[in-house]
Amino acid sequence: MFIKKVDKQTLLKPLQVVIGIVERKQTLPILSNVLIEKEPGKVRFTSTDLEIQITTTVEINDDDRTTSAVTVGGKKLQEILRILPESSEISIETKDNKAQIKANKSKFSLQTLPYEDFPKLSNQLIEPRKFSLSQGKLKSLLASVQYAMAQQDVRYYLNGVLLIIESNSLKAVATDGHRLAFDNIDIGGSHAKQEIILPRKAVVEMSKLLSDADEIVEIEFSSQQIKIEFSGITLISKVIDGKFPDYERVIPKYTNHLLMQRQQVQQALQRAAILSNEKFRGVRFVLTEKKLTIISSNSEQEEAQEEIETDYQGEAIDIGFNVNYLMDGLNNIQGETAIFSFGDPNSSILITTPGNADYRYVVMPMRI
Instruction: Centre a 10 Å sphere on the Cβ of residue 224 and count the other Cβ atoms it contains.
Output: 13
- 129-249 and 252-363: identical CATH topology: yes
Q: What is the chain's length? A: 368
Task: At 273, give phi and psi (nearest 5°).
Answer: -65, -25
Q: What are phi and psi of 6, to 5 degrees?
A: -115, 140
Q: At 92, which amino acid appears?
A: I
Q: For residue 126, what pLDDT is reported?
A: 87
End-to-end CA distance of the chain: 67
Which CA distances in Å does 40 have to 7, 55, 321?
17, 17, 59
Question: How far is Cα of residue 12 from the mean position of the Cα atoms in its chain?
Answer: 22
pLDDT of the residue at 268: 97
User: What does pTM read for this prediction?
Assistant: 0.92
77 by DSSP, 3-state: which? helix
Question: Do 18 and 55 meet the contact criterion of CB atoms below 8 Å apart?
Answer: yes
Cβ-contact 180, 354 below 8 angstroms: no
> Per-10-residue mean pLDDT for the chain, 368 residues long?
87 97 87 95 96 96 83 97 93 93 95 96 91 96 96 94 96 97 94 95 97 94 95 97 94 92 97 93 94 95 96 89 96 92 92 92 93
Q: What is the CATH number of domain 129-249?
A: 3.10.150.10
- CB 11, CB 58: distance < 8 Å: yes
CATH of 3-117, one of 3.10.150.10, 2.30.30.30, 3.20.10.10, 3.10.580.10: 3.10.150.10
* Per-residue confidence (pLDDT) for residue 50, from 0 to 100: 95
Q: What pLDDT is attached to residue 1?
A: 59
Q: Which CATH superfamily is domain 252-363 in?
A: DNA Polymerase III, subunit A, domain 2 (3.10.150.10)
Phi, psi of 222 (to 5 degrees): -135, -170
The pLDDT value given to residue 63: 72
Ranges of each domain in the chain = 3-117, 129-249, 252-363
